Amino acid sequence: MSASALVLPSTSTPPSYHRIVSPTLHLPTDPQRPIPVGLLACQRDPLLRDLVSTVVSSTVAQTAPTSNASKRIKKNTPSIAQDTLLEVILHDTVLFPEGGGQPNDIGILTSADGNIWDVIDVKRRGGHAVHFVKVKDGNVAAALKIFTPGSLVRAALGEQGFQRRLDHVCRSNHCILISRAHVRFCKMSMHTCQHLLSAVLETKLNLPTLAWSMTTYPTPSYVEVPRALTPEEISIIQAEANRLVFEGRQVHIEVEELDHSNRAYDTPSVGIPSDYTGGVKRTVIIDGVDRNPNLQLFLIPQMEGLSRSSTSSARLYFLSGPRLITYFSSIHTLLTTTSNVLSCGAPLVPERVEQVIDERKKVSKRVEDLEAELASSIARDILKQAEDDTVVLHQHRTDDASNPLGFLSAISTAFVNEVSSAETGPSSYLIVLTSSPSMQTATSTTIVMTFGNDEKKVKEAGDTIRANVGVKGGGKGTKWSGKFTGVWKDTKEGKAVAGILKDISL
């Protein structure tokens, strides 16, 4: 195992891809001095998968690494036991640290004795890439001895790390030649897609990208723009972006020294992080399309529950590479399954779905009409039971409807209407309606509704039922409703309700 050199192993990356434009900026040649983030091997050549490098430092990690996603986990989430980790800094690395809206790489380190060590995370600390290495069997002393400063290790993506990167991007460096088939690794870059999409939005519609997010695979990523786009505008942007892809526009990186005079960006960006000490400013250039700063670009947290659009911004979702293939596969599966259910060809699915929805609306309307008719009939039957100008009773129903409370409310409304329209209706009434499913278990729910024309009596009845029968609920005005969990029995709960009504005088 030989030490890494400034000249990287040969890949398909064009020699002109990474360009240092500052005459005084050079790669550190001292193996005990780490190359800063911005000039790492993974950024100079995004196709490089492994590299022999020198250990600069290794220490025991005091805290587990946290990503943007983990920061959004609720505080009450139970903690999980963490593995013992080492923080290892190398002279150079092919493993990209999280940044620029792009997730970190994972990979492996192979030590001089041939042992393989898992790198579960890579973070930027100041200007350095810190590898979080899982300690084997918790033997910290042996691990620190293996990663003694000056030791040689081979850093590699590994197959799992390569597949992870394949979806994310060919690092923050983006695509080399967008339409060349033999570099599909770069063509599949979601990050490159974002740069291209943002550039086309800016040039065609004068819409700056306010932020962007690389969402969890395989969901679409998105860019946020100041306003929503019309379907016609989306078609224009998509066509223009694909035209540039098919033309095979060259992409390269320009790197310069970072100082106070060039620290600010003249394009939309959250700017350079205040803790960045690498001293390097990188610019991604898509030939004839875009010139975009690339250091912690558009870094935003993924906010659950945020609406797709608002009065001030809108999200435009996009897909490419593995995510696009997965998306098309899932859509094809869903379409095929739906067409089989509807017994029609795929092109007829939209029409058949419309027919099903129309029929469902008609059926729902018919059910509502029948329920209203039934509720009126039940209300009239209750009214017939009036004695001495009063109605005080409990009526229980067995009903497997999805919304039994809605039907009980319909009965109460129909009863009030019947009383209002009757020439000699009761002057006072207090009625309790209950509804249970046909098959009851210990977890079954019985709906209880109390209504009357005296608010105080309704409240008295409801509160007494809650206290004596175990119904949870409440009410306001002339209605009170609640739920009983368990098996409702007429000989027990029904008898208790009847007794409560008997003790209330109207």
Domain assignment of residue 36, yes or no: yes
Q: Residues 73, 75, 78, CA angle at the centre, nearest 5°? A: 85
Q: What is the pLDDT of residue 184?
A: 33
Q: Parallel, antiparallel, or unpaired for β 428-436 and 390-398?
A: parallel
Note whether 282 and 408 are same-domain residues. no
167 plus 189 within the same structural domain: no
Model pLDDT for residues 205-263, shown as the tens digit of each residue: 999 988 888 777 778 888 888 888 888 888 888 888 888 878 877 788 888 888 766 55
Instruction: Indicate the number of domains in the chain.
Output: 3
Q: What is the pLDDT of residue 298?
A: 25
- Length reported for the chain: 506
Separation between Cα atoms, residue 66 and residue 11, nearest integer Å: 32
pLDDT digits (tens, 9 = 90+) for 49-86: 899 999 999 999 987 676 554 554 444 444 434 788 99
**Mean pLDDT to the nearest integer, 329-345:** 94
The answer on 109 and 207 residing in a single domain is: no
In which domain, by residue range, is 269 found? Answer: 181-330
| pTM of the shown model | 0.59
* Residue of 269 and 472 predicted with greater confidence: 472
Highest mean pLDDT among 89-103, 138-152, 247-261: 138-152
Residues 6+ apart with CB under 8 A from 33: 56, 91
Q: What are phi and psi of 395, to 5 degrees?
A: -125, 125
Please, which pLDDT band fits residue 101 given cuts at 50, 70 and 90?
low
Place of tokens 């065609």: 204
Distance CA 15, CA 367 (A): 72
Q: Are residues 92 and 145 in the same domain?
A: yes
Residue 338 counted as domain residue: no
What pLDDT band is residue 98 in, cutting at 50, 70 and 90?
A: confident
Residue 188: give its domain's CATH number: 3.30.980.10
> What pLDDT does 271 receive?
57
pLDDT bracket for residue 308 (50, 70, 90): very low
Average pLDDT over residues 455-483: 94
Confidence of residue 162 (pLDDT cuts 50, 70, 90): low
Residue range 436-444: mean pLDDT, rounded: 94
List phi, psi (to 5°) of 48.
Answer: -75, 130
- Alpha-carbon distance of 353 to 77, in angstroms, equals 41
Q: Which CATH number goes with the domain that contains 468?
A: 3.10.310.40
pLDDT at 309: 47
pLDDT at 156: 92
Helix ranges (H only) for 41-189 are 41-44, 68-71, 140-146, 158-168, 184-187
Identify whether residues 130 and 246 lie together within a single domain.
no
Is there a domain that residue 3 lies in?
no
| 353 assigned to some structural domain | no
Under DSSP, the state recorded for 455 is H
- H or E segment and range at residue 130: strand 128-134
Residue 126, domain CATH: 2.40.30.130
Sequential DSSP letters for 271-299: -S-TT--S-EEEEEEETTTEEEE-SSTT-
225 and 123 belong to one structural domain: no
23 and 167 together in one domain: yes
Ranges 8-12, 241-245, 382-386, 388-392: which has the least confidence: 8-12
Choose the final residue of a domain: 134, 149, 171.
Answer: 171
- Percent of the chain past pLDDT 90, that is, above it, reads 44
Report the alpha-carbon distance of residue 122 to residue 107 in Å, rounded: 9
**Do the domain assignments include residue 341?**
no
Same-domain status, 56 and 159: yes
Residue 458: predicted pLDDT: 94
- Intra-chain end-to-end CA distance of the chain, in Å: 97
When pLDDT is averaged across residues 135-139 and rounded to a whole number, the result is 89
Whether residue 372 lies inside any domain: the answer is yes
In-domain check, residue 113: yes
> Of 151, 171, 191, which one is at a domain's C-terminal end?
171
Give the pLDDT confidence score for residue 374 in this predicted structure: 94
Domain boundary, last residue among 132, 149, 171: 171
Clarify whether residues 269 and 377 are in a common domain. no
The pLDDT of residue 137? 86
pLDDT averaged over the chain?
81
Q: pLDDT band for position 321 (50/70/90)?
A: confident
Residue 300 pLDDT: 26
| pLDDT band per the 50, 70, 90 thresholds, residue 448 | very high
Contact 252, 177 (CB under 8 A): no
pLDDT of 91 reads 96
Query: Which of 202, 139, 183 lies closest to 17 in space, CA to CA?
Result: 183
User: Residue 295: pLDDT above 90?
Assistant: no
- Whether residue 4 is contained in a domain is answered as no
Looking at the structure, tell me whether residues 155 and 55 fall in a common domain: yes
Residues 498 and 365 in one domain: yes
Q: Is the pLDDT of residue 484 over 60?
A: yes
> For residue 164, is pLDDT > 70?
no
Residue 296 has a pLDDT of 27
Q: Which residue from 299, 295, 300 is spatially nearest to 36, judged by alpha carbons? A: 295
Q: How far is CA 136 from the centre of its chain?
A: 33
Residue pair 225/201 in contact (Cβ under 8 Å)? The answer is: yes
Query: Does the structure show a pLDDT above 80 at 363?
Result: yes
> In whole angstroms, what is the distance from residue 149 CA to residue 56 CA?
5
Whether residue 27 sits in one domain with residue 166:
yes
